[in-house]
Structure 1
Amino acid sequence: MATHVTLQTMMNKKILYLLSFVFFLLACKKEKTTWDTNWRAPLFRDTLSFQRMIDSNQIGVENDHSLQLVLNQRVLDADLFEYLNIPDTSVVQEFSLNFLNFFVGPGGNIPTDVTEFEFVLDDVELNTVIIKEGVASVQIENPLVEPAIFTITFPGVSKNGVVFSQSKEIPAAVNGVAGKDVLSFDFSDYQLDLTGEDGTAFNKLESQLVVSLSPDGNGVNVTNNDVFRFTLNMTELKLKYARGYFGNIHIADTETFTLDEMNNIVSGAIDVANVNLGMYVENGVNVNGELTLELLQSTNKDGVVVNIQSPQLNVPQSLDAAQNSNGTSVPGDAFFNFTSTNSNVEDFIENLGSSYKVAYDLEINPWGNTSGGYDEIYENSRFSLDLRSNMPLALGVQDLLYRDTFDFELTQDLKGNHINAGSLILKAKNSFPFSGSVELKLLNDSKQVLTTLSSANMVTAAYGAQVTNLADFPSTENELIYTLSEEQVALINQAKYVGVEFKVDANNANVQQIYLESKLVLELFTDFELSHAL
């Protein structure tokens, strides 16, 4: 009789055999079961290019896509109003009758004179100013036994052609104690004539206090013992226009600025050509001046210092006054130009500085009052000093070492799942005209080197001196393999970062042009053999 075995019956038997085999293994094994697998996974991807500097306008792009190093660093931005603003001022003025007594009837006035006071401004001599903002207050004391109306007028202070004048009723004196009150006002946009009563002085402001009795009140007998007093307080007055002689002013300082990107360059040298570094001075004030450039210094990350050497340093450069017409200012200017023929500017650039210092001395009115008291400054008029450069980003490099650091963390259980052997694989797509080798360093949480990994392969250069076909921009692709020893595998648990050091060498000895499309794309992968244990 034939036996018919169905497919379901065969499957049931296979599952039964498999379960029996597994139970057999579990019953008989004396050690952990282990097996090996290969594991390949990406760790990071990064692109080295000049795009960030292009976005921040530090690098310019020409029509042929070649790059230009564009440096425009503001070193000095001086607001001369800081040296001309009227200081906080408090003035006490008193007056009394110059005869024994005088009866004043209801609505009558007590005779007073125009007085003037002087602002203390050292050697600055101002004849006209316009206030941008600021407040003033007057505390008035009334010695009379009747309330009185006090009107304070500044004959030389006006806005839109209207002379400043304000009034306030001050209470009567009580038991010999003068009545007091405060009159406050905003001086914004007022023009002050500071030529005094005779119109030829400077820093002097006229004032007049008129006292009158209310027409609805009583008359009063005023004697020469009655002292009328007011205290004027002017605070935080800021100017938006000034005319006069601004005095002899020195603005000297040393400014420091940094290029943090240069700290990633660890060692090596570059060669540059057609370097042109300039210091541009702009005088937006109608006043003569001189600027002396005393120091232009580059310091790299190793502390190596290179100072510009040039006959243009420590020699005063004249600054013509700005020309003003109807509130429009045409600045005067001057220019320091450092080239390969008149300075060591190539050494300065090739120092790969990450920190720069510029020392200067700006002198206002170095020859005294040559304008006849007609120095003039408008709102937003400045003295500025800019460090400028615009040169081809064409480099020759030699053993230039660039370093960057990335997060790296891979935890393994040496008694369970752990790395048995393997490699790190770096894929590099290079569109620069430089070749070079890449070392990887495993770093601990303090960024100290645990071990260094080297590859026999290199990143190859993409092109020679120039690129002629931008539509098909050249690039090379290389795979660099870093085989880990058993000792290096054991260090992986301690590694928190991986350092990448790219030691660059030029494809040839000539200076080579960098383009918008130039970049280096790095991708790091693991290629590990894992051991698993149950």
Structure 2
Amino acid sequence: MRFHKLSLLKLVLTAFILTVLIMISCQKPGKNLSWESDILVPLIHSSLGVDDIFTDSLLVENPDQSFKLVLDQKINTMDNNALIEVHDTIAEDVFNVNIPVPFKLNPGQKILEKNTDFMMKLGDVRLSKAKAKKAILKFLVISNFKQPMRVKYKVLSSEKNSIPFEITDDIPAAAAGSEVKLIREIDLSGYNIDFTGLNHNSINTIRSSTTIWISPNADTAYYSKADSITVTSIFDKLQLESALGYFGQKNQMIADSSILNTFQNFKSGSFSLENLSAELQINNYVGADFQVRINKITSANSSTGKQLDLNDAIVGRRLNILRASRTSDDISSITPQKYTYSLNNSNVKDLLMNMPDKLSYQIEYNINPLGNVSGGNDFIFADKSLEGNIHIEIPLKVKMDSLVIQSYSKINFDSESHIKSGYLNIYVANLFPFDVEIQFYVLDDHKNIVDSLLKENSISRHGTIDNNGIVIKATNDILRVKLDAELIQKLKTSKEVLIWARINNPQQKHYLLYQNYNIDIKLIVEANYEY
């Protein structure tokens, strides 16, 4: 909807009132002065164009100024987080005094320094390197020492800005016969992780270091074998930004849906397309082979409840997708494997004419169907994985059947004006190849309809169409609405008018839509004012 705020009413009335005041100032005492004047004031100038029928962002103008609709609907073909799941203990260090007789420990004395290589249980996944996109490490210390302790924990396998992660914390003294627990949740997001261990010849291995001291603030005390302290670290959540290794063999089912806004302007009715071209695109940015099977793609219209499934040879067929390649560790060096499958022989046109607001799908994929053919050199980046897309190009050669659209236009009908009588003149110029049934509704502040301007819907006939099916001249109509006291009061209190249009195609032909096609609408107040 394109509209202009053309309320000149206040300006005109101000000039008029100033004139009246000057005349009054010249009037002889005892005389009453009354003025009447006929004024034409634009109230609304609006238009309904092709972008009010189809979503503007999807329209592409051709060189001949006709329109086509270009749709790209993303399909989630895989869940990166489910590809490599990490939830495991990475280290557990226990210090026991374990001496039959009590012995003395001094404040600040180191009692444990230990490096640990811990191999995580990741099934047939074999990781060598990764970068954490989102990582939460739970750090748990349990102590029954009767003096405060100090613990330093370092993840030697991690690195951020060339510095490994470490944490140092003080543990309070435990009361007699009890223990104290310290739990920390540590954010390791953005850290690089080396899973190859001390000699860089392992997999799935985290190397860590634990150091324990008697706190410098402790008292000198004697300790027995009943005293102990346990330090445990667990990956509670690990989502990878990138990873290198072998990702195992896994079968996963994706059942998802996406919202379609293509037909959001359609309130009811239907339309028909003459032709279109459509294809399924699969781009593999992962350094691993896949087998993909599309089990179902469904077009769903929530208003009508109607659902249609895609009918094409690609449904249920296994698609072999080869791995991507790369020349460095940088994501920009990836060369994806790209596949295109035509949907031109499918019923995709029927799926679109269902005017869906949701597209749902079920997709199954297998990773590494032939096993570890890369020798542990699979790679993945979270921002570039296995991507699916349905690409559709539709020349907007269409036929409309009672297709309803609507739009809103601001008005500013002067609430202080003294209208004695008049008309609201509505000028409609139809440059579409379709008939348009039109109505105007006055709205309150909550967008509720309080009145209609026309007693019955008016039909604006299609423009003049030449032998090539192109509209060369608009059909013009003038509608006059009498301004009675009730309607005047409603217009004074309203800030918005709803323009309602039902588009019909009496010729039952498909017409190509052009950039200049629109319905131009002007509302002009022709009123008699009295002061």
Q: Does the pair score TM above 0.5?
A: yes
Q: Name the residue aligned to 2:390.
A: 387
Separation (CA, whole Å) in 1 of partners of 2:301 and 2:55: 25
Report the structure number with the largest CA radius of gyration: 1
Secondary structure, aligned partner of 1:453:
coil
Q: Name the residue aligned to 2:339.
A: 334
Secondary structure, aligned partner of 2:65:
coil
Structure 2 length as normaliser, TM-score? 0.68
Letter in 2 for 1:349: L
Separation (CA, whole Å) in 1 of partners of 2:176 and 2:305: 78
Q: Is the 8 A contact 2:424 2:525 kept in 1?
A: yes
Please list, as runs of the form range in 1=range in 2, the aligned pairs for 1:206-217 lying within 5 A after superposition. Answer: 206-209=207-210
Q: Is the 8 A contact 1:400 1:505 kept in 2?
A: no
**Change beyond 3 A, Cα 1:266–1:461:** farther
Q: Is the 8 A contact 2:52 2:405 kept in 1?
A: no
- Deviations 1:399-427 (CA, angstroms, capped at 9, x unpaired): 54444455679899xxx9665xx765432
**Change beyond 3 A, Cα 1:379–1:298:** closer
Q: Is the 8 A contact 1:296 1:358 kept in 2?
A: yes
Secondary structure, aligned partner of 1:348:
helix
Pairwise CA distance, 1:364: 4.3
Indicate yes or no: 2:461 matched with 1:458: yes
Pairwise CA distance, 1:287: 2.4
Q: Is the 8 A contact 1:270 1:400 kept in 2?
A: no
**Change beyond 3 A, Cα 1:531–1:332:** same
Q: Is the 8 A contact 1:440 1:501 kept in 2?
A: yes
Q: Name the residue aligned to 2:435.
A: 436
Pairwise CA distance, 1:358: 2.5
Q: Is the 8 A contact 1:193 1:205 kept in 2?
A: yes
Q: Name the residue aligned to 2:118.
A: 117
Segment of structure 1 superposing worse, 162-171 or 395-404: 162-171
Q: Name the residue aligned to 1:27.
A: none
Please list, as runs of the form range in 1=range in 2, the aligned pairs for 1:103-182 lying within 5 A after superposition. Answer: 114-121=115-122, 124-132=125-133, 134=135, 137=139, 139=141, 156-157=157-158
Q: Is the 8 A contact 2:153 2:208 kept in 1?
A: yes
Letter in 2 for 1:458: R
Q: Name the residue aligned to 2:353.
A: 350
Secondary structure, aligned partner of 2:64:
coil
Q: Is the 8 A contact 1:54 1:60 kept in 2?
A: no
- Deviations 1:48-73 (CA, angstroms, capped at 9, x unpaired): 22458999541112222222211123
Separation (CA, whole Å) in 2 of partners of 1:153 and 1:455: 78
Separation (CA, whole Å) in 2 of partners of 1:82 and 1:319: 19
Q: CA RMSD, aligned part only?
A: 5.4
Q: Name the residue aligned to 2:479.
A: 481
Q: Name the residue aligned to 1:322.
A: 324
Pairwise CA distance, 1:501: 2.6
- Deviations 1:190-222 (CA, angstroms, capped at 9, x unpaired): 5434355787664332345467999xxxx9999
Q: Is the 8 A contact 2:58 2:262 kept in 1?
A: no
Q: Is the 8 A contact 1:443 1:499 kept in 2?
A: no
Please list, as runs of the form range in 1=range in 2, the aligned pairs for 1:45-444 lying within 5 A after superposition. Answer: 45-50=45-50, 57-76=57-76, 80-81=80-81, 83-84=83-84, 86-87=86-87, 89=89, 91-95=91-95, 114-121=115-122, 124-132=125-133, 134=135, 137=139, 139=141, 156-157=157-158, 187=188, 190-195=191-196, 202-209=203-210, 227=228, 229-232=230-233, 234=235, 237-247=238-248, 248=250, 250-259=252-261, 262-273=264-275, 275-289=276-290, 290-299=292-301, 301-327=303-329, 328-339=333-344, 342-351=345-354, 353-365=355-367, 367=369, 369-371=371-373, 373-404=376-407, 419=421, 424-432=424-432, 434-440=433-439, 442=441
Separation (CA, whole Å) in 2 of partners of 1:172 and 1:139: 12
Letter in 1 for 2:128: N
Q: Name the residue aligned to 2:7.
A: none
Q: Name the residue aligned to 1:447.
A: 449
- Report sequence identity in percent: 18
- Deviations 1:478-498 (CA, angstroms, capped at 9, x unpaired): 1233566x9x99777668655
Letter in 1 for 2:522: E
Separation (CA, whole Å) in 1 of partners of 2:472 and 2:143: 88
Secondary structure, aligned partner of 2:326:
strand
Separation (CA, whole Å) in 2 of partners of 1:96 and 1:453: 92
Letter in 2 for 1:244: G
Letter in 2 for 1:361: I
Pairwise CA distance, 1:284: 2.0
Secondary structure, aligned partner of 1:330:
coil
Separation (CA, whole Å) in 2 of partners of 1:103 and 1:114: 25
**Change beyond 3 A, Cα 1:65–1:228:** same
Q: Which segments of 5 or more consecutive residues in structure 1 lack a partner in the other structure?
A: 1-14, 24-32, 468-472
Separation (CA, whole Å) in 1 of partners of 2:280 and 2:187: 42
- Deviations 1:465-512 (CA, angstroms, capped at 9, x unpaired): 466xxxxx944251233566x9x9977766865543343326x55533
Separation (CA, whole Å) in 1 of partners of 2:232 and 2:183: 9
- Deviations 1:168-188 (CA, angstroms, capped at 9, x unpaired): 999999999999999998756
Separation (CA, whole Å) in 1 of partners of 2:399 and 2:352: 13
Pairwise CA distance, 1:100: 8.0
Q: Name the residue aligned to 2:500.
A: 500
Q: Name the residue aligned to 1:10.
A: none
Pairwise CA distance, 1:321: 2.2
Segment of structure 1 superposing worse, 382-391 or 107-116: 107-116
Letter in 1 for 2:66: S
Separation (CA, whole Å) in 1 of partners of 2:51 and 2:392: 19
Separation (CA, whole Å) in 1 of partners of 2:77 and 2:403: 36
- Deviations 1:234-268 (CA, angstroms, capped at 9, x unpaired): 56554332223435252522313132754445325
Pairwise CA distance, 1:365: 1.7
Secondary structure, aligned partner of 1:346:
helix
Separation (CA, whole Å) in 2 of partners of 1:386 and 1:431: 36
Pairwise CA distance, 1:286: 1.7
Segment of structure 1 superposing worse, 86-95 or 357-366: 86-95
Q: Name the residue aligned to 1:515.
A: 514
Q: Is the 8 A contact 1:138 1:183 kept in 2?
A: yes
